Chain A
Amino acid sequence: SQTIHQWPATLVQPVGSPLSLECTVEGTSNPNLYWYRQAAGRGLQLLFYSVGIGQISSEVPQNLSASRPQDRQFILSSKKLLLSDSGFYLCAWSAGGEQYFGPGTRLTVT
């Protein structure tokens, strides 16, 4: 069966510090991968998606970037965090009409 991992679960970072969130998927090959952000009490905002190694599509211009160095690894990064980057970051993979989410990383920028 397929499993998606994200870490860390929670993170508190100061403004201006860098960020690296990692997501890995097990049990499937060549998945479509996604990064979402969810502000408290709000919906899901798609940040990036990837259909293959090195292929990244950005949905929202901002100070975040994504990379896919391996087939089942998706990384979200920032060189300098902003207060507005706080939120719940979710990685997901898709199979047909369904998406499956990782447990998420709750990021607080102070």
Chain B
Amino acid sequence: GQSLEQPSEVTAVEGAIVQINCTYQTSGFYGLSWYQQHDGGAPTFLSYNGLDGLEETGRFSSFLSRSDSYGYLLLQELQMKDSASYFCAVRDQGTGFQKLVFGTGTRLLVSP
């Protein structure tokens, strides 16, 4: 089967940098995605890494190392609005191209 591990909660202050890690175990691998979900809302797509390396989108960056089965989401210049849950997800060759397997999520709390 597939499994993804993320820290359950991370706290930081405004203006800081925070890294949310994700390790995964899958029978195959197509890529790693990150989603943000505010309380009461739906998840929104943040980034996707199909190959090793860093992808940057504004204040957010995502990194993937396929040899280590590891990725992370880096949030810079934290703002209060970044307080949310963040989920990593893998497209798993074992389960088929069309499906994603989500981690249990990391709750990020940004304080003033």
Contacts and interface: CB of A to CB of B under 8 A. Distances in A.
A44 B30 contact: no
Q: Chain B CB within 10 Å — which of A44, A96, A101, A103 has the most?
A: A44
Interface size, B (range): 20 to 34
Nearest to B42: A101
A44 B98 contact: no
Interface string A77-110: 0000000000000100010111111111000000
Interface string B32-47: 0101000001111100
A48 to B, nearest CB: 11
B42 A98 contact: no
A51 interface: yes
Interface string B81-104: 000000101010000001111111
Nearest to B107: A41
Interface residues of A, number: 18
What's the dominant secondary structure at chain B's contact region? strand
Given A44-B102, A46-B99, A99 B45 contact: yes
Given A90-B43, A97-B48, A99-B45, A32 B104 contact: no
Contact of A43 (B33, B41, B45, B103): B103
B86 to A, nearest CB: 11
26 contacts: A32-B98, A42-B104, A42-B105, A43-B87, A43-B102, A43-B105, A44-B43, A44-B102, A46-B99, A46-B100, A46-B102, A94-B100, A96-B48, A97-B30, A97-B33, A97-B91, A99-B33, A99-B45, A99-B89, A99-B100, A100-B45, A101-B42, A101-B43, A103-B42, A104-B41, A104-B42
Interface of B: 30-31, 33, 35, 41-45, 48, 50, 87, 89, 91, 98-105
